[in-house]
Amino acid sequence: MSALWLPCTQMQHLADHPPLAIVRAQGSTLYDAEGNGYLDMISSWWVNLHGHCHPTINAKISEQLATLEHTLLAGVVHPPIVELAERLVAMTPAPLQKVFFADSGSAAIEVALKMALQFCQQQGQTAKTKFIALEHGYHGETLGSLSVTDVALFRAQYQPLVIEQLTTPSPANLFAPPDIAQSEYEAQCLAHLKTTLAAEHTRICALIVEPLVQGAAGMAMYSLDFLAAAVACCRHYGVLVIFDEIAVGFGRTGTMFVCQALQARDATLCPDFLCLSKGLTAGYLPMSCVLTTQAIYDGFYDVRLERGFLHSHSFTGNPLAATAALASLDIFAQDDVLTRNQALIARMAQGLQALARQYPDRVALTRQTGMIAAFSLMTDKQNTDAQAARALARYCLQHGVLIRPIGAQVYLMPPYSTTLAELDTVFGVLLDALAALDISHLPPMDTVHLA
């Protein structure tokens, strides 16, 4: 361990609490060297979809490895990346016609921001140099993505490097005052957004949002009604829209993508950019992409090289990652995953209800969007308890369940391979952990996790 520096971790804390050492995994379970199993209730940072070491994905990657492991994607293509682009376009709303690949969620955000800005510049809209994002939003930790991230813990120490952008209040339930209905709070937030766009639209390039769920904010959730109204407002003022579905894409919210649910609500509404990563390869290999419209693409189509989109990295469109993504899409189709997940979604809702019913003073603001469930852990009815959340996580780990609270916000985002029986085990351990907290005030888990 002496050479290793871990992300999102205060390394000094590991002196007393060494990191969990995992040597293998299968399905929804991680295993340490002693054979102890841990149900992976955070999908290994929200990336794993179909379970670890899925035989279909393993076989497809092994087959691809024997033919082509990598080639550049500048002026060169290969069958897996061509097929993946076509399949992503086929399964997303019709206006999204082009796919640009990158390697990480942050890189996808960088691509979308740069693409939006350059498009506006090349359309002669040179005053449009600003972006607007929701307060408490998280879009990555590279400098461009950090400029539209509003989480001080990630951003404050790098402020001299960050370009200031505009923010508008988050409509999420986690931030609503206790004495106001959620619908009324969302209406207030929408009014603020409309006022800002009315005053600033001539210099705003795009709105960027995490649709429905702000993950790193603590699984803060808001309605499709707000999202639809926000997109419509941007359309009215000629402001582009970026959907960051990096965390919520590929079925996490119940539908494959939030933009599909938006189109079902109003066929005229679609983001100009859709950013995907995490579940894109079902948690196997780093890959991300940005889908965009023919109109955006046409804005770069020119004989002059400098008017092209000159963003790249060495491993763009890696064949092994593309093959993993294709295998994941096959599993969705063959196993009817989204339909099968409905039973898991219902069982998670029942589990949340049981926690709130048995511990009404400890468990507050239970919330769920599809396969994402969360609650706030309280010291009393007014104050959240981040220290108790860390203690709860340590108890769960000792009893075979891996969770990682975000402050006082405890959440579950399990792989789709999770069984109903495994969910029953998880909620049973959570009930026991809450009882142990009240009885013995367990010592805090001294590790830092924020997203």
Q: Three-state SS string across the chain, please?
A: CCCCCCCCCCHHHHHCCCCCCEEEEEECEEEECCCCEEEECCHHHHCCCCCECCHHHHHHHHHHHCCCCCCCCCCCCCHHHHHHHHHHHHHCCCCEEEEEEECCHHHHHHHHHHHHHHHHHHCCCCCCCEEEEECCCCCCCCHHHHHCCCCHHHHHHHHHHCCCCEEECCCCHHHCCCCCCHHHHHHHHHHHHHHHHHHHHHHEEEEEECCCEECCCCCEECCHHHHHHHHHHHHHHCCEEEEECCCCCCCCCCCCCHHHHHHHHCCCCCCCEEEECHHHHCCCCCCEEEEEEHHHHHCCCCCCHHHCCCCCCCCCCCHHHHHHHHHHHHHHHHHCHHHHHHHHHHHHHHHHHHHHHHCCCCEEEEEEECCEEEEEEECCCCCECHHHHHHHHHHHHHCCEECCCECCEEEECCCCCCCHHHHHHHHHHHHHHHHHHHHHCCCCCCCCCCC
The answer to whether 105 is annotated as binding is yes
Token pair of 262, please? Answer: 């938006």
The answer to whether 313 is annotated as binding is yes
The answer to whether 298 is annotated as binding is no
The answer to whether 438 is annotated as binding is no
The answer to whether 45 is annotated as binding is yes
The answer to whether 308 is annotated as binding is no
The 10 Å CB-count burial string (b at 16+, else e) for 320-337 is bbbbbbbbbbebbeeeeb
Count of Cβ atoms closer than 10 Å to residue 194 Cβ: 16
The answer to whether 106 is annotated as binding is yes
The answer to whether 284 is annotated as binding is no
The answer to whether 40 is annotated as binding is no
The answer to whether 13 is annotated as binding is no
Q: Which positions make up the binding site for pyridoxal 5'-phosphate?
A: 105-106, 244, 313-314
Q: Which positions make up the binding site?
A: 45, 105-106, 138, 244, 278, 312-314, 404
Q: Which positions make up the binding site for substrate?
A: 45, 138, 278, 312, 404
